Structure 1
Amino acid sequence: MTKRYLTLLLTILIMSPLVAQKKSLKKARKKHDRGEYQVAIAMYERALEKGVNQAESNFQIAEAYRLSNRVQLALPYYKGAIDNGISNENAKLYYAFALKANSQYEEAEKELEQLVANAEDEQVLEKARLELDNLRNLKSIKEKNSYYRVRNLKAINSAEAEYSPIYNNGELYFTSSRGNDKIYKATGTSFTDIYKVPTKGAIVDTTAIEGLSNLVNSPKINDGCVTFSRDGRTMIFAKGNSGRKRGTFDVNLYITRYRRGAWSEPQMLSISDPNAWDSSPAFSRDGRTLYFASNRKGGKGGTDIYSAKLDGRGRWGNVRNMGNVINTTGNEMFPYVADDGKLYFSSDAHPGLGGLDLFVAERKSGKIGIQNLGSPINSSADDFGLFLYSQEKGFFSSNRAGGQGDDDIYTFINNDPNLKIVNYFLEGTVVYQPEDAKEELLDNSRVQLLDSQGELIEEAVTSKTGKFRFRVYEGENYVLVGEKDDYFTTRVDFTTIGKSVPKEQLTQMVTNKTFTTKIPLDQIIIEKSIVLENIFYDFGKHDIRDDAAVELDKLVNILIDNPGISIELSSHTDSVDDEEYNRKLSQRRAEAAVNYIVAAGIDKNRLVAKGYGEAQPIAPNTNPDGSDNPEGRQKNRRTEFKVLKVDKVKEQEDQQQDDLEDDEIDFDENLDDNNDN
């Protein structure tokens, strides 16, 4: 009995520490999964001190540093996980990322080469290949001629984090963890708040730094990353990361308005996804487009840049991914659209020097180019949150070595001698011209700007005076599509080719040139005949000639653009030859035209072919004295169409399908804003 008791006691003594260690690791994993990374790091550190599960503990510490944007600190822990035999290939992938973040480029390249040669996980392999390509582009980035000069804005920076600067009405707004004694468990640092300080350029009045009101800043929630409408009276900012929700996907976008000397109670934007991380908002110059970063479902990778539009009722919607020209399998965030239409953003997956690098996307001749801003704007650390105070001066954020503390705000000057730019805009009106009546301006009309390939670039809704405005670019062909309920959707061509302002004529840093145009819409009137001009047939024949095909193609476009209409296509003759012959000939011609349209992809159920022969003249075939009237007979030899019915349900279904297809949209469909500069 005594022997059995001693054996049991010995077993308990041996097993108790193991049980305790398992419980400790389970608790650490729970904290990690909840996004309380700093708490998890401390718990895993204790496990390392006790020699518990060295590979897993090192890996989880490294991941906690990476996921809380401190990948530089993750380096020794990824190495520790690898040295202790961890099988997770992500450890080797992110070890290379950590090497790069610590400026150990050659070592990072070697690690990635080995991973590309041996990786079995397809996702790891894809990321490793991308990052290896990026590293091999470093030489060109480093050798890039730079006109930037940067300086730490020491007057405003502290030992805490300061980032995301933005200028508004004589004040510099920024995000900082200073002055908040509540600790955020993800990083072990204070929660962030939004601050402001009076400034003239980079000269700040440090005696007047103050946090925003408690309506905006919350003591146990991270507040920050703000953007303002052009008049400075509407602010959108990110709020979240309270630690009360599972994971870190609790950052949302909020809107507040400046009224009677104070900011109103912030309200969460309807476009914000409660189950995703939505942050770093940025207004377009006209305030009708909002750019932001999100890791919502359906993206390209980690965090992607999205855009949203403000409708005529002041509601945000039409959220679209910026597409794979901008977004990658990595993280893209901190968008900013400058006065010249260029999109600045940060990414850790485009070819760069470190963690987050700053990039600029620019449209030229219908294509989008991405450029790394190079050193000294970028470093091996995180560089992000750029804002242009003027064409050649601005601010950005960085956690590079040599700063005041955590993230710091930097100023820069761009001394590039070729900074002078021309902004091109296209202003127009949508109109209706009734017969024998004054031209009418059509408000609430939808206008789309398409490129030469028919891809959507931008869209707008006309004002009360029927006006719209788009940013356009030099050397490009466009198509404008105007549409309104009960009117035919109409296309109008426009080009900027040959209309550029020569650079040698530029006298100012920024020059704006505005073109004008008009989109005429016709009312859809049931049973009203509309003549198709220039539809000609060889004498006595019904074959579609090349010149007639050009005109019929226009009708095809009308039917495509107006999916709800069904039409009768009719052919008419003059009175030469007998009546029966003319009727049969016109019927064959009408059927030939319908067959051509069906062959172009139009549903045959939307078309009726009708030959009227000489039965419906619109002009006399002969003069009053009985002589021949060539002009009258020519008018009578015509092709017409008239709308038989309009299927509104069909139009709505097609519009919904178009919206679905536009959800995944390329950068050039979002970059162009109605700049009011």
Structure 2
Amino acid sequence: MRFFKKQYFLPFLCGVAVACSPLKRAEKKFERGEYDIAINYYESLAGKKSFSKMANYYAAESYRLSNRIHQAAPYYQAAIEAGFRDEGAMVYYAFALKAIGEYDAAKEQLENYLDSAEDKAYITLAENELYNLKRLNEIRAKKNYFEVKNLNAINTPSAEYSPVFNNGFLFFTTSRDSDKVYKATGTGFTDLYKAETKGARVDTTTIQSLGAAINDPEINEGSITFSPDGNFMVFAKGNNGKRRGTAEVNLYQSRQRGGRWSEPLMMTISDPRFWDSTPAFSADGRTLYFASNRLGGYGGTDLYSATLDGRGRWGNVKNLGAQINTPGNEMFPHVTEDGKLFFSSDGHPGFGGLDILVAERKNGTIEITNIGSPMNSTADDFGIYLFMPDRGFFSSNRAGGEGDDDIYTFVNNDPDLKIVNYFLAGVTYTYDEEEKEQILPGTQVRLLDKNENILAEVITGMDGKFNFRVSAGEEYLLMGEKREFFTTRAPFSTVGREIPKDSLKQLVTNKTFNAKITLDKIVLDKSIVLNNIYYDLDKSDIRADAALELDKLVNVLKDNPQIRIELSSHTDLRSDDDYNLRLSQRRAESAVAYIIKHGIASDRIVARGYGETKPIILNAQTEEEHERNRRTEFKVIGIDKSKEAKEEKVVEDGIEFDFDLN
């Protein structure tokens, strides 16, 4: 049993007095989400002609909404054959057929539905699933080397799922030993357990509950994840079946101190109005992935991410986008050390129910692959966790298990399996008064892709160091930001720097690229020369080579919205003073007009021509000396304090240091 999402209730009217009593009870149970009890009532009415359509439909819906869609097919079929024409029933009947391996029948059902479909949401769902079914042979033909075994030592007739390995323990969710029946599924409430394990070898004598501080006998506890040091955990909690309290499943956090877990608190990134579950940390612990059905998604449940800021607060919740998320359901994320995102979905091409897929960045794009059979089946396959690059655990309710959901182990015996981890490590610097390089701590560093989408970010500590995972064959942009300093851009590329696969000897190879980011302090009225800004003789038109340099200044202004600047133009000493003054003013105005045209507000930049009044070399003789005088500069003339970065704190070895961060 796994947490599910409720659906609104559509009542139907009594037509025969004798049947009204069980019908009303069925309606009430369905409305409360007590689907297992509702099924008994609806099945008792399904054979009665007056109730056949609606009773069969709601029996089917009850099975679907309690994660048993494979049992729903005959009820959807009976409802449709009795004349029930709800578009949802037509589409979910196809899903139910797929869940029992009737792929051709599912395809035919969707095609028949689409011939007369009207509801846009169901049309999208049906078209997506029809496309998935057409790709099934492609997935079947893919060769893989997975070996799968039921972890009999830990499984029971109850549910065991969402395995997570941490510090020598296997943590999992189970409904064993529950004294209370969950009325949605007719199974016990779920709690979090753990057992000592060495790889897939579980010491069954150590299986134990996480205790009353974490497990509430009146509430379901679900999937769990741990920070890299194992001292911070996030897990799902909810579905108590009561009207009071939160409406859905939520994410809770707890910290371990002195060997004890603190009282769980709901995370601020969790929305009590919606279903938030199946959390998973990134390898560095600074990103949390989870599934949610909150508003603004692509349909069903979507995968989201949240990040940790400089104050240790979780926020910046983002949908992972349409490449990952579909009109169906995506959930149970898991990020491996080599940066791959594993997850389960019923919206991508698959065998039926939830299938396990993997997403990885390749040459700047995200590639999604169904990992195939035997990892996936017509049943729900989910909750994968790799404790080594070639082996791990996952969950499934496939036939042949011990009961409900079971935990399985797997090994990937692919002889060509070779993993390369690429990293970009660096240090943030600035210059002191003597123009010597020095480390700049407390700098916010972001890694962006070529389209300037943020991929990762971090606040540097006292050592100024940052470290990001990068992919082969991709263009990146590093950005460093700190209060009272110019935000700095530094391009980086892994294109052409990949390690040839045929040269790899080990299962895992790590390759680290090095970079540095140098931030200049913002000083009022300090002139900064823009190199390579050239004009044709006696002209003020912006040449192509000058435009490239002005584009850099446009980026400086966009990256530093708090500054106002003066852009100045200077001539050499070889023409009339008044002429040079007018020419320099025209050139400055031309440069400013170019910058404004590229998106910078006119009140943030002032044009000023100085002619020959401020030469760098007073008695210039050579052409090179004249060129140094013939320059374009800018200087900061104002700072909007309200747009500066906020003060944050960096913690180093348990001591807090104040820094000015964005």
Q: Deviations over 1:311-353 (max 9, x none)?
A: 1221111111111110111100000001110000000010000
The separation in 2 between residues aligned to 1:468 and 1:38, in whole angstroms, is 52
Q: Deviations over 1:32-63 (max 9, x none)?
A: 12211112222223333655521111111111
Gaps of 5+ in 1: 1-14, 623-627, 654-677
The separation in 1 between residues aligned to 2:634 and 2:495, in whole angstroms, is 35
Q: 1:573 to 1:186 in 2, by over 3 A?
A: same
- The structural deviation recorded for 1:248 is 9.1
Match of 1:356 among 351, 354, 357: 354
1:32 and 2:30 aligned: yes
What is the alpha-carbon root mean square deviation over aligned residues? 2.0
The separation in 2 between residues aligned to 1:242 and 1:483, in whole angstroms, is 45
Q: Secondary structure at the match of 1:290?
A: strand
Structure 1 window deviating more from structure 2 (48-57 vs 226-235): it is: 48-57
Equivalent residue for 1:464? Answer: 462
Q: Secondary structure at the match of 2:376?
A: coil
Equivalent AA in structure 2 for residue 90 of structure 1: G
Q: Secondary structure at the match of 1:276?
A: coil
Report the structure number with the largest CA radius of gyration: 1
Q: Deviations over 1:193-219 (max 9, x none)?
A: 111112122221222211111111111
- The structural deviation recorded for 1:71 is 0.3
Question: Is the 2:14–2:20 contact (alpha carbons within 8 Å) kept by the matching residues of 1?
Answer: no
The separation in 1 between residues aligned to 2:107 and 2:28, in whole angstroms, is 34
Could you state the TM-score of these two structures normalised by the residue count of structure 2? Answer: 0.92
The separation in 1 between residues aligned to 2:645 and 2:253, in whole angstroms, is 31
Q: Secondary structure at the match of 2:388?
A: coil
Equivalent residue for 1:635? Answer: 628
Structure 1 window deviating more from structure 2 (560-569 vs 391-400): it is: 560-569
Where in structure 2 are the equivalents of 1:315-330 lying within 5 Å? 315-330=313-328
Equivalent residue for 2:156? Answer: 158
Match of 1:251 among 229, 249, 261: 249
Match of 1:382 among 358, 369, 380: 380
- The structural deviation recorded for 1:648 is 3.8
The separation in 2 between residues aligned to 1:355 and 1:39, in whole angstroms, is 23
Equivalent AA in structure 2 for residue 64 of structure 1: S
- The structural deviation recorded for 1:613 is 0.9
Match of 2:238 among 237, 240, 243: 240
Q: Deviations over 1:249-302 (max 9, x none)?
A: 421111122222222211111111111111111111111111111111111111
Q: Deviations over 1:75-117 (max 9, x none)?
A: 1111121121112121111111111000111111111111111
Equivalent residue for 2:411? Answer: 413
Q: 1:221 to 1:172 in 2, by over 3 A?
A: same
Structure of greater relative contact order (alpha carbons < 8 Å, 6+ residues apart): 1
Equivalent residue for 2:545? Answer: 547
Q: Secondary structure at the match of 1:406?
A: coil
- The structural deviation recorded for 1:652 is 7.8
Equivalent residue for 2:107? Answer: 109
Equivalent AA in structure 2 for residue 584 of structure 1: R
Structure 1 window deviating more from structure 2 (258-267 vs 63-72): it is: 258-267
Q: 1:632 to 1:575 in 2, by over 3 A?
A: same
Match of 2:68 among 61, 67, 70: 70
- The structural deviation recorded for 1:629 is 5.2
Equivalent AA in structure 1 for residue 630 of structure 2: R
Q: Deviations over 1:422-469 (max 9, x none)?
A: 101111122111341442322222222222233322222222222221
The separation in 1 between residues aligned to 2:125 and 2:214, in whole angstroms, is 39
Q: Secondary structure at the match of 1:235?
A: strand
Equivalent residue for 1:530? Answer: 528
1:300 and 2:298 aligned: yes
The separation in 2 between residues aligned to 1:453 and 1:294, in whole angstroms, is 26
Q: Deviations over 1:605-649 (max 9, x none)?
A: 222111111111222225xxxxx3544433221111111212244
Structure 1 window deviating more from structure 2 (228-237 vs 174-183): it is: 228-237
Where in structure 2 are the equivalents of 1:46-445 lying within 5 Å? 46-48=44-46, 52-245=50-243, 249-445=247-443
The separation in 1 between residues aligned to 2:435 and 2:627, in whole angstroms, is 28
Equivalent residue for 1:646? Answer: 639
Equivalent residue for 1:658? Answer: none
Equivalent residue for 1:577? Answer: 575
Q: Deviations over 1:356-383 (max 9, x none)?
A: 0000001100011110011100000000
Gaps of 5+ in 2: 1-12, 647-662
Could you state the TM-score of these two structures normalised by the residue count of structure 1? Answer: 0.90
Equivalent AA in structure 2 for residue 241 of structure 1: N
- The structural deviation recorded for 1:17 is 8.7
Question: Is the 2:158–2:176 contact (alpha carbons within 8 Å) kept by the matching residues of 1?
Answer: yes
Q: Secondary structure at the match of 1:53?
A: helix
Q: Secondary structure at the match of 1:389?
A: strand
The separation in 1 between residues aligned to 2:518 and 2:505, in whole angstroms, is 37
Q: 1:16 to 1:292 in 2, by over 3 A?
A: closer
Structure 1 window deviating more from structure 2 (411-420 vs 204-213): it is: 204-213
The separation in 2 between residues aligned to 1:266 and 1:248, in whole angstroms, is 15
